[in-house]
C-alpha cells in the first residue's frame, strides 16, 4: 500500500513540475525556465539522497494535512489554466506551493521539518521576487546611478537625469525590467542552493551578500554598455543585449562568477580543515 502511495506522489510531483516548466516556456520566460531547471534538480538531488529513508518510512499524514495538501494542489491546477502572462506572480509561487502541498500529503504538518531544505530551496526559487517587487523603483534608481558612475569613472562624458543615463549622442531609460532585481533574486536563490547542498564553514551572510551584489553590479555594467551602444548607434547590438540572447548571456556571466567565488570559499574550507587537522 505504501509503495502505491509513494508512486502516486511521484506521479503527481512529476506532473506539477512539468506543468510549471511548460507554462514558463509557453509564456516566454526563458531565463526563469532555465533557473527552474537548476532549482528542481537541486530538490531532486536532495530527495534522491533520501531514497532509502523514503522507501523504508511510512507516509504519516493526518486527515487535515492531506486535505490541506490536496486543496493546494487543486489550487495550482486551477490557477495554471488561467495564466496568461509571464509576469503573473503565480508562476513564481507555484513551485513552493507544489512542494508544500506534496509534503503535507506525504508527512503532514508535524514532519515538514524533515524536508525543510527542499522547501527552503523552492521558497527562494520564486518567492523573493514577489516579496521584493515593491522595491523595483528604488533598485531601478540605484541601477541608473551605478551605470552613470561606471561610465563617468571610465572617462565618458555621461550625465544622468532621473532614470535616464545619457551620453552626448544618445541616452537610455532604465526602467523596472532593467533594474537587475531579477538577477539579484536569482543569485540569492542560487546562493541558498549552494549553502544547503555544499555547506561552508565561512560566513554564510557574506556568501548571500556577494551573490546579491554580483547580480546588481553585473546588471549595472550591462546598462552602461547598452548606453554606449545607443550612443554609437549600434541599435542591432542594443536589441541583442537588451531583449535577445545577450540578456541571458549576462545572467550566465553572473552565475559563473558566483560559482568561481563559491569554489574559492570551499577551497578555503578545505585549507582550514587541513590546518586544524595538523
Phi, psi dihedral angles at 116 (to 5 degrees):
-65, -35
> Which has the higher per-residue pLDDT, 276 or 239?
239
Q: Beta-carbon neighbour count of residue 68 at 10 Å? A: 18
Helices 204-231, 181-197: inter-axial angle, 10-degree rounding: 150
> Are the C-beta atoms of 157 and 166 separated by less than 8 Å?
no
Q: Is the pLDDT of residue 50 over 90?
A: no
> Which has the higher per-residue pLDDT, 273 or 188?
188
Angle at 208 between CA 207 and CA 210, to 5 degrees: 65
Residue 1 pLDDT class (50, 70, 90 cuts): very low
- Mean pLDDT on 184-205: 91
- Mean pLDDT on 185-207: 91
**Are residues 102 and 151 located together in one domain of the fold?**
no
> Are the C-beta atoms of 230 and 238 separated by less than 8 Å?
yes
Grid cell for residue 138: 528604488
Phi, psi dihedral angles at 171 (to 5 degrees):
-150, 160
SS3 132: coil
Phi, psi dihedral angles at 202 (to 5 degrees):
-75, 175
Instruction: Tell me how many domains the chain contains.
Output: 2
Show which of 110, 127, 144 is a domain's final residue: 127
**Are residues 157 and 55 located together in one domain of the fold?**
no
Show which of 62, 95, 127 is a domain's final residue: 127
What contacts 24+ positions apart, CB below 8 Å, involve 48-54? 54/6
Q: What share of the chain is helix, strand, coil (3-state, %, to 5)?
A: 80, 5, 15
- Mean pLDDT on 186-215: 91
Give 13's contacts (C-beta < 8 A, 6+ positions apart): 98, 102
pLDDT tens for each residue of 64-120: 989 999 999 999 999 998 888 888 899 999 999 999 999 998 888 888 888 899 999
Grid cell for residue 153: 569613472
The whole-angstrom separation of Cα 1 and Cα 159 is 70
Grid cell for residue 228: 554606449
**Are residues 150 and 103 located together in one domain of the fold?**
no
pLDDT at 74: 94
- Mean pLDDT on 217-232: 90
- Mean pLDDT on 163-186: 87
**Are residues 266 and 145 located together in one domain of the fold?**
yes
Q: Is the pLDDT of residue 188 over 80?
A: yes
SS3 67: helix
**Are residues 69 and 199 located together in one domain of the fold?**
no
**Are residues 17 and 138 located together in one domain of the fold?**
no
**Are residues 193 and 225 located together in one domain of the fold?**
yes
Range of the domain at 218: 134-277
Residue ranges of E strands in the chain: 159-161, 164-167, 170-173
**Are residues 147 and 243 located together in one domain of the fold?**
yes
Percent of the chain with pLDDT over 90: 44
**Are residues 150 and 263 located together in one domain of the fold?**
yes
> Are the C-beta atoms of 140 and 179 separated by less than 8 Å?
yes
Grid cell for residue 186: 536569482
**Are residues 145 and 273 located together in one domain of the fold?**
yes
Cell 494542489 -> residue:
73
Residue 52 pLDDT class (50, 70, 90 cuts): low
Show which of 67, 94, 127 is a domain's final residue: 127
Look up the pTM and report it: 0.89
Q: Is the pLDDT of residue 2 over 70?
A: no
Average pLDDT, the chain: 87
Residue 207: closest CA among 220, 190, 226: 190
Q: How many residues can be counted in the chain?
A: 278
**Are residues 21 and 88 located together in one domain of the fold?**
yes
pLDDT tens for each residue of 150-168: 999 988 888 998 888 988 8
Q: Is the pLDDT of residue 244 over 90?
A: no
**Are residues 146 and 236 located together in one domain of the fold?**
yes
Amino acid at each position: 500500500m505504501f509503495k502505491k502511495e509513494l508512486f502516486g506522489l511521484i506521479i503527481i510531483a512529476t506532473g506539477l513540475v512539468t506543468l510549471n516548466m511548460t507554462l514558463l516556456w509557453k509564456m516566454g520566460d526563458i531565463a526563469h525556465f532555465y533557473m527552474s531547471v537548476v532549482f528542481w534538480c537541486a530538490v531532486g538531488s536532495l530527495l534522491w539522497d533520501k531514497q532509502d529513508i523514503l522507501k523504508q518510512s511510512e507516509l504519516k499524514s493526518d486527515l487535515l494535512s492531506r486535505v490541506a495538501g490536496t486543496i493546494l494542489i487543486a489550487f495550482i491546477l486551477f490557477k495554471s489554466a488561467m495564466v496568461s502572462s509571464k509576469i503573473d506572480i503565480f508562476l513564481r509561487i507555484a513551485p513552493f506551493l507544489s512542494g508544500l502541498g506534496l509534503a503535507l500529503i506525504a508527512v503532514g504538518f508535524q514532519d515538514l521539518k524533515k524536508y525543510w531544505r527542499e522547501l527552503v530551496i523552492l521558497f527562494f526559487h520564486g518567492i523573493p521576487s514577489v516579496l521584493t517587487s515593491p522595491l523595483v523603483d528604488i533598485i531601478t534608481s540605484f541601477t541608473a546611478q551605478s551605470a552613470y558612475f561606471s561610465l563617468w569613472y571610465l572617462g565618458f562624458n555621461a550625465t544622468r537625469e532621473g532614470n535616464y543615463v545619457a551620453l552626448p549622442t544618445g541616452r537610455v531609460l532604465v526602467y523596472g525590467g532593467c533594474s537587475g532585481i531579477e538577477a539579484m533574486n536569482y543569485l540569492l536563490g542560487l546562493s541558498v542552493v549552494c549553502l544547503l547542498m555544499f555547506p561552508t564553514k565561512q560566513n554564510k551572510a557574506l556568501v548571500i551578500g556577494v551573490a546579491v551584489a554580483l547580480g546588481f553590479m553585473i546588471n549595472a555594467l550591462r546598462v552602461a554598455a547598452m548606453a554606449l551602444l545607443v550612443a554609437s548607434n549600434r541599435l542591432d547590438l542594443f536589441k541583442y543585449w537588451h531583449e535577445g540572447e545577450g540578456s541571458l548571456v549576462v545572467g550566465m556571466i553572473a552565475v559563473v562568477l558566483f560559482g568561481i567565488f563559491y569554489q574559492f570559499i570551499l577551497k578555503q574550507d578545505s585549507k582550514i580543515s587541513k590546518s586544524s587537522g595538523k
